[in-house]
Amino acid sequence: MRHLTIVRKKKFVACGMKVYVYLETRVDEDIVLDDIPCKKIDFLKNGKSITFDIPKQAINVFVVYDKFFPTKYNCKFLIPEGTEDVILFTTPRYGLLNGNPFELYR
């Protein structure tokens, strides 16, 4: 097992919104995003971070930024196979017509 840390950079845009983190799973799915079964890991507030275990094989991680329309308002990041710990950063972009979309990057 290795660790994945997701850091939400503090910004004024969407500062009151929680974002929800989902991880690809084979069992006990909570939701299907982009035809991938996923399990909810936790939520992320402005300026906070979370760390959790992920397997060594390649896996998708999703950040959902609208809990009422998760299949439409989400971003996906594929974490490649490996043994090293991974740190991802997420931050919202200003865009009211798109729900202030979040992006994931290294």
For 7-59, the pLDDT digits (tens) are 999 999 888 889 999 999 988 899 999 999 999 999 999 999 999 999 999 99
For 47-106, the pLDDT digits (tens) are 999 999 999 999 999 999 888 899 988 999 999 999 999 999 999 888 877 777 888 887
User: In the 3-class helix/strand/coil scheme, how is 20-73 assigned residue by residue?
Assistant: EEEEECCCCCCEEECCEEEEEEEEECCCCEEEEEECCCCEEEEEECCCCCCCCC
Residue 92: predicted pLDDT: 87
User: Is CATH 1.20.1510.10 correct for 2-105?
Assistant: no
